[in-house]
Amino acid sequence: MNKFYLCLFFTLLFCNTFSQTEDALIKEAKALIYLGFTEGDYSGRKKADSLLNSLVDRNDFSSVKNEILANLYIIFTRLGRTPDVDLNILNKLIEKYQTGNVNDPDLLSQLTFFRNRMRLSLGEKGAEEAILKTIENQLQLKIPNDTLLADAYDILGREYYKQKKYEKSVAFGKKSIPHYQKANLNQLFISSLQATGAAYYNYDRIDSSLYFMKKAYTEIKKNANPNNQRMAQLAFNIGVINQGKTGEYFEAEAFLKEAISYEIKANGEESPTLITYYSLLADNFFILKDIDQAEFYANKAYSLAYDILKTESVYLRSFAAMSLSKIYVIKKDFDRARKLIDVVVEESIAFYGENDKFTSQAFNDKAFVEFSAKNYEEAEKYLLRSLNAAESIDRVYSKKASYSSLNEIFLKTKVYDKALYYAKKRKELLDIHLKTDYKISAIDNIAIAKAYLGLKYLDSAQMVLKEVQKKLPKYVDAPELELELRALQNEILLEKYKSVSDDNALEEAYKNIEGIIKKIISGKSSYSYQNSRIFYSESIIPYINTSLEICQLLFDKKKEEKVLNTIFKLMEINKSSILLDGITDFKIKVEKRVSPQIMEEETITRVSLMEINEKIYKLKKDSTSSTPSLNILIDKQLKLNVKLEEIQDNLKKNYPEYYKAKNLVEAKPLDFYQKEVLKKGQCIVEYYISEERLYRLVISKNKIQFDELPDTKRTIGQVENFLSTIQNKGDIISLSKQLGSVLLPEFPLDTREIIFITDGVLSRIPFEILNYKNGYLLENYYVSYAGSLQLYDEQVALHKKQNISLKWLGFAPDYKDKSLATNKKEVSKIAKLTKGEYKLGQEATKQNFINTSKNASILHLATHAELDKGNPMLNKMIFYDNGEDAFELTAAEIYGLDLKANLAVLSACETGSGIYENDGVMSMSRAFAYAGVPSTVMSLWKVPDAQTSIIMVSFYENLDKGQQKNEALANAKLSYLESVKQPELKHPYYWAGFVVSGDISPIHKGTSIWWYVLAIMILILLVFIFLRRRKSI
C-alpha cells in the first residue's frame, strides 16, 4: 500500500514538473521570438522553433491552451512565409479552442486575426473586411490589445500599399504606430514608421515621407546592435528622397554613403543592391558638380554590374550605365555616352514598356546626352517621349523631371514661350506635392523668371524673384541657389537698363556683384579635385559675363576706380585659380602648422590616386585590356578617394585655421599690383573673352586702361587663321597687322617689358610677332606670359624663396623612331656653358629624371612630347625607352612632384599647348608650375629641332650675361633672325614658338662659399692692420 502511494506521489510530482517545464519552454520560446519584435535580434528564432517543435512532436501537452500557443508561436517564427500551411494550422487551432473548453477571448482574437491575415496573403475574399472587424471589436474594449490592433492596422496598410492605394496605406500605417509604441514592440514600431514613410513617398507627400523615414532611422540607431540590412535600406530611402525630391544634395550624400557602408556590413562588397547605391551616389556628386567623385562611384557601379556580378537585371545594368553616360558627356565623349544610353533605352522599352517611370528616366537621360552634344531637336524628341510616359502613368516626379528638362532646352534654344509653359507646369505640380519646401519653390520661380526675362517681361520676372527673396532666407544652406538668384537679378536689371536707360538699375546691379564674386570663390573652394573645380568654373561663366557687362557700362559712364577693381577681380576669377591654389596650399599648411605626417599622407594619397586614374583611363581606351585588372583598379580608386575624404575631414576638424586660409581669395586691388608687383617699365595686358565680347585691361606702373575691343567673333576668327598660317609657313604680314591693331594697346612711352595674360584662343599665339608700329612687337619689347596677375605675383615670390645656387640639369634621350637630330648637341653645349649635369641618350630615362630633378635649379628637357586630347593629365614628356622601365612622364606624375627648380625649359613640341579649360591651358608647362617651378619656357606648336637648338643655346648665353628670362629669350630670337641666311627660315614658324611664362627674374648663379670666407678673412685682416696702425700712432 505504501508503495502504491509512493508511486502515485512520484507520478503526480513528475506530471507537475513536466507541466512546469512545458510552460517554461513555451515562455522561453515566446521570449526568443519577441526579441526580434523588440530588439531586432532574430538570432533566437531558430532555437524557439526547435523548442516548440519538440513539444508539438511529443504531442503530450498539459493543456489545450499550451498546445494552441506552441503551434501559434511556430507560425510566428515563419513570419508568414507559408500562408497556405499556416492557414490550415490556424483553422485547426480555432477548432481545438472551441472544442477544448478554453476560456481566453484574447487568444481567440489572436487566432482569428492571424487566420484572416493568412487569408489576406492568399487573396481570399472577405479577409480585408474580417480584419477591419477585428479592429472594430478591439476598439470597443475598455483595454484593447495594442499588439493585435497595431498588427491589424499595419497589415492592412501594407496590403493597400501593394494595391497602390497609397492614401489608405498611409492612414492605416499611421494608426499602427502608437499601438506598437504602447506595446513596446520597438522593431515593429520602426518597421511601421518606415512603411508609412514609403507610402507617403508614393503618395507624393515628400515632406511627410522624409519625416517618417528619418524617425525610423533615428529609432533604429538607438539599438545596441542595429540591423545592418534595415539601416542600409532606410539610409538609402532618405538619400533618394533628399536627392530626387527635395534637392538636399549634401544630406543625400551623407545618407547614401551610410547606406553603402551598412549594405557592405550586411551582405558583403558584391551585393547587387550596391549597384543602385553607387549609381545614386554618383548621380548626386554629378548634381553637385563634383565630377571626379561622380566618376569614381559610376565606375564602381558599372564594374559591379557588368564585370563582377554580370547581372541580368535590366534595372541594375541600366542604373549603372545611366550614371556613367553622364560622366562621358562631361568629358565630351558623346560616342561612348550614346553607346551606353542607347542600350538602356532599348532594354527599358523591351522590359518595362514605353509607359513606365524607368523608361521615362531613360528617355530623359538620352535627351541629356543629345542636349549636351547640341542636337537640340533630337533631345526635344526624347523629352517629349519621356513626358508622354510620365503622364500616362501619372507619376509626379517623372513629370517633374520631364518638365524641368524641357524648360531647360527651350531656354537654351531661346524658345521662351515654351520654356515658360513648362516652368509653370512644373511649379503647378510641385505646389501640390512639395508646397512647404522653400528650396524647390525657389528653383521653380527662378525657372519662370528666366523665361519671363527671355520674353522681356521684366516686371513679371522681378515680381517672381521678389517672392524667392522673401522665402529663401528661411532656407539656410543654399549657396548655389543664392548665387543663381543674384545673377538672375542682375540679368533683369541689366536688361532694364538697356531697354529704358535706367541708371538706378545699373547701380543696383553693380552692388550685387561683390556678393556674386564671394559666392563664386566660396563655391569653387568647396571642391577637392581639379576636374570638379573646372566643371564648376564652366557653370559660373554666364554670371561673370553678365557682371563684366554691367561693370563695363558703369565704367564707361563714371570711370570710377572701384568699378575698375571689380572688373579686374572678375577677369581673374577663372584664370589659373586652381593652379594658384595648388601652389600655395603647401605654404599655408606650413604656416598653419599642419602635421607633416598628415601632409605626407595626403600627398602620397593624391599621387597614388592620380596614378590609378591614369591606369584606368588607359585600360578603358584599350579594348584588349583585362576586365579583372580594371575592376581591381576601380576598387583601389574608390578606396583612395575615401581615404582622401577622411584626410580632408581630419584637416577640417583639427586644423580649422588652415581650412579657412586655404580657400581661394579675391584678387587684391589694382594699386597693390602697381606698387608691389610691377617694376618700372613693365606693363600687364590682360584679356577676357566672353561669347560676344572681348575685354582688355592694361596695367602699368602709373596708369590703368580698360576697354572692350570691337567685333569679337571676327577677331577670334583672325586669331585661328593666324595660328594656322604660322604652322603652314604662310604669309602672316597682313594678319599680324590686323591683329596687332585690334589686340595691342598704345603702350606707355617708358614700357620695356610686357606681360600678357591671355584667355581662350589668344593663349595659342605668340604676341611678340604681332605688328606694332611697323615691326614685330619683339623688336622693341621683352614679352612674357602669365596665367593671371595673382599667379604671377605668387611665382615672383616663389622665385625669391627658391634663390638657390645654380645647378643645371639637362636631358636628351635617344629614340628608336622619330629621333631628334640635335637634342644631344643642344644639351651638351648648354651643360658646358652652365657647368651643369646632363643625361644623354640611354641615360636620359624617366627614372633618372625623377631621381635627380628634385635638387636642380634649372631643368632642361630636350625630348619629344605628346598631347592627349581626351585627358590633359596624360600629356607626356617622353624619355629613353630601355624596353623594361616606364619612359613616359605624364602631367599627372609631374603634378605629384615637389620641385625646387626656378626654371624649367621644355625644349619639346607643344609643351605650352593643350586643351583650354576654364582655368587656363592644361599644358605640360602648367604641370611644372603646379610642381613648384615659378618659370617655364614652353612651345606653342611643333617646333623644328635644329632651330630650337640654336635658340636654346643663345638663350642660355644671354642668361649667363645676367639678362632676365624674357630679355634672354627675345635676344636669342633676334640673334637667330640676324644670323640665319635663308629667307624662308626667318618665318616665325621656325623661331617664334617658344615663349616664357611666369617669373622673369634673371637666374641667380650663386657664389662659392669660399669667396665669402676669403672676403671675411680680408676684412678681418684690414681691420687688424687699421688697429695696429692706430695703436702705433
Q: What pLDDT digit, counting tens, does each position of 596-627 carry?
A: 899 889 888 888 888 888 888 888 776 555 57
The CA distance from 269 to 273, in Å, is: 10
The CA distance from 796 to 790, in Å, is: 10
Q: What is the pLDDT of residues 747-796, one digit of tens each?
A: 999 999 999 999 999 999 999 999 999 899 999 999 999 999 999 998 88
Half-sphere exposure of 671 (CA within 13 A, CB side): 2
| pLDDT score, position 849 | 92
SS3 call for 844: coil
The CA distance from 445 to 466, in Å, is: 10
The CA distance from 1 to 11, in Å, is: 15
The CA distance from 695 to 709, in Å, is: 6
The CA distance from 844 to 153, in Å, is: 79
Q: Report the Cα 937 to chain-centroid distance in Å.
A: 33
Q: What is the DSSP track for 603-626?
A: HHHHHHHHHHHHHHHHHHH-TTS-
CB proximity list for 963: less than 8 A, separation 6 or greater = 971, 1002
CB atoms closer than 10 angstroms to residue 706: 20
The CA distance from 925 to 861, in Å, is: 12
Angle (CA) 927-929-935 rounded to 5° is 135
The CA distance from 736 to 767, in Å, is: 9
| pLDDT score, position 651 | 87
| pLDDT score, position 822 | 85
Q: How confident is the model at residue 4 (pLDDT cuts 50, 70, 90)?
A: very low
pLDDT at 13 over 70: no
Q: What is the DSSP track for 780-819?
A: T-EEEE-S-HHHHHHHHHHHHHT-PPP-EEEEEE--SSS-
Q: What is the pLDDT of residues 332-353, one digit of tens each?
A: 899 999 999 999 999 999 999 9
List Cβ<8 Å contacts ≥24 apart for 298-302: 298/323, 298/324, 298/326, 298/327, 299/324, 299/616, 299/634, 299/637, 299/638, 300/634, 300/635, 300/637, 300/638, 301/274, 301/275, 301/276
Per the model's pLDDT, the better-predicted residue between 587 and 66 turns out to be 66
Q: Is 962 left (phi over 0), alpha (psi -120 to 50) or beta?
A: left
CB proximity list for 737: less than 8 A, separation 6 or greater = 771
The CA distance from 964 to 935, in Å, is: 11
Q: Report the DSSP beta bridge partners of residue 809.
A: 837, 859
List Cβ<8 Å contacts ≥24 apart for 926-929: 926/579, 926/787, 926/891, 927/875, 927/891, 927/892, 927/894, 927/895, 928/859, 928/894, 928/899, 928/904, 929/579, 929/583, 929/787, 929/791, 929/795, 929/997, 929/998
| pLDDT score, position 872 | 82
Separation of first and last alpha carbons in the chain:
150
- CA dihedral 983→985→986→990, nearest 10 degrees, is 170
Q: Residue 157 carries which side chain, given as an amino acid letter? A: G
DSSP conformational letter for 1004:
P
| pLDDT score, position 625 | 55
pLDDT at 6 over 90: no
| pLDDT score, position 58 | 87
| pLDDT score, position 1026 | 55
| pLDDT score, position 469 | 82
| pLDDT score, position 581 | 82
Query: Grid coordinates in use for 7?
Result: 508511486
pLDDT at 19 over 50: no
| pLDDT score, position 1011 | 46
Query: Grid coordinates in use for 737?
Result: 597687322
Q: How confident is the model at residue 36 (pLDDT cuts 50, 70, 90)?
A: confident
Q: Report the DSSP beta bridge partners of residue 860.
A: 810, 905
Q: What is the pLDDT of residues 421-440, one digit of tens each?
A: 999 999 888 777 666 666 77
Query: Grid coordinates in use for 1007?
Result: 657664389
CB proximity list for 21: less than 8 A, separation 6 or greater = none
Distances (CA, A) of 1024 to 110, 533, 1017: 115, 65, 10
* Residue that has been written with the C-alpha cell 622665385 in this structure: 799
Half-sphere exposure of 1023 (CA within 13 A, CB side): 6
The CA distance from 915 to 333, in Å, is: 14
Lowest mean pLDDT among 118-127, 164-173, 288-297, 586-595: 586-595
Query: Grid coordinates in use for 439?
Result: 528650396
Positive or negative, the Cα torsion across 181, 185, 186, 191? negative
CB atoms closer than 10 angstroms to residue 482: 19
Backbone angles phi, psi at 60, to 5 degrees: -135, 55
* CATH 3.40.50.1460 applies to domain 798-1009: yes
Average confidence (pLDDT) over 307-319? 92
pLDDT at 320 over 50: yes
Per-state percent for the chain, helix, strand, coil, to nearest 5 = 70, 5, 25
* Residue that has been written with the C-alpha cell 617646333 in this structure: 943
| pLDDT score, position 452 | 95
State the alpha helices, DSSP H only, in 163-272: 166-182, 186-202, 206-221, 228-241, 249-267
Average confidence (pLDDT) over 40-68? 87
SS3 call for 311: coil
- CA dihedral 433→439→443→448, nearest 10 degrees, is 70
Average pLDDT, the chain: 87
| pLDDT score, position 18 | 43
Pairing of strands 915-917, 876-878: unpaired
CB proximity list for 992: less than 8 A, separation 6 or greater = 726, 766, 768, 769, 778, 973
CB proximity list for 517: less than 8 A, separation 6 or greater = 547, 566, 569, 570, 573, 666
Which percentage of the chain shows pLDDT scores above 90? 53
| pLDDT score, position 132 | 94
| pLDDT score, position 14 | 39
| pLDDT score, position 659 | 77
Backbone angles phi, psi at 922, to 5 degrees: -85, 75
CB of 966 closer than 8 Å to CB of 782? yes
CB proximity list for 235: less than 8 A, separation 6 or greater = 217, 255, 256, 258, 259, 262
Q: What is the pLDDT of residues 455-481, one digit of tens each?
A: 999 999 999 998 888 776 655 567 788
